[in-house]
A and B are shown apart, each in its own frame.
Chain A
Amino acid sequence: AQSVTQPDIHITVSEGASLELRCNYSYGATPYLFWYVQSPGQGLQLLLKYFSGDTLVQGIKGFEAEFKRSQSSFNLRKPSVHWSDAAEYFCAVDPSGAGSYQLTFGKGTKLSVIP
C-alpha cells in the first residue's frame, strides 16, 4: 500500500545541535513532497516543498530537505536548532505528482529542544 513513514515519533535535541527528521514514502513515481510544521493547538505551516529539479531544497526558518530517489526519502535538516523550533513536523506527499493536492501525511515527529 502507498504510504508515508516518519520513523521517529519523538526526538529531543539540545539547542544549537543539528537536526535531521526522516521521511520515507512508498509510491511508484516521484511524488510532490512537502514538510509542514505545527505548533500546539495551531494549524500547519509549510516549511518547504519539492516538485522537481535540484534535490536539495531550502525552506523557511533555516530548514532544508534533500530528496533521494534511490532511498525514497525526503529528510528534513537544520544545522543549528533554536528553542522556538520545538513543534511537531509532518511530511506530506501528493502521490499523483500532478498537483491534485490530495495529500497523504505521515504521522508526525514531535521535536523537543533542551535549552
Chain B
Amino acid sequence: DGGITQSPKYLFRKEGQNVTLSCEQNLNHDAMYWYRQDPGQGLRLIYYSQIVNDFQKGDIAEGYSVSREKKESFPLTVTSAQKNPTAFYLCASSVPGRDQPQHFGDGTRLSIL
C-alpha cells in the first residue's frame, strides 16, 4: 500500500545537537510538507516543497532546515538554533491541483534530554 513513512517514531536530542527526521513517501506526490504540532496549537507549517530541488519556508522555519534531492524523500533537520524543539512533527504530501488533499504520516515525537 502507498503511504508516508516517518522515522523514528520517538527521538531524543541532547542540548546543542542537530537531529534529522526522516520522511519517505511512495505515493508519487510532487509536493511535501513538514508541520510542527504542539498541544492546543494545531499544526504549523515549517517548510514545504512543490518539486525536487526546491523548497520554501513556512510560518516557523527558524531553527529548521530541509532538503529535497529525491521526489520521495523530504528530511527535516532540527538544528541547535531551535530553542524549543520538543514537539510532534508531521510530514505530509500531496499532488498539486484541485481535489487533492494532503496525506499525512504518523509523526515523530522529538524530546530534549
Contacts and interface: CB of A to CB of B under 8 A. Distances in A.
Given A42-B107, A43-B105, A99 B100 contact: yes
Contacts of A9: 40
B45 A102 contact: yes
Contact of A49 (B4, B58, B101): B101
18 contacts: A42-B106, A43-B90, A43-B105, A43-B106, A44-B104, A46-B101, A49-B101, A51-B98, A51-B99, A90-B43, A99-B96, A101-B31, A101-B96, A101-B100, A103-B102, A105-B35, A105-B43, A107-B40
A105 B40 CA distance: 12
Given A49-B101, A99-B100, A102-B48, A44 B90 contact: yes
Given A41-B106, A92-B43, A107-B40, 17 more contacts: A36-B104, A41-B109, A43-B105, A45-B104, A46-B101, A46-B102, A46-B103, A49-B99, A90-B42, A99-B97, A99-B100, A100-B96, A101-B94, A101-B101, A102-B48, A103-B43, A105-B42
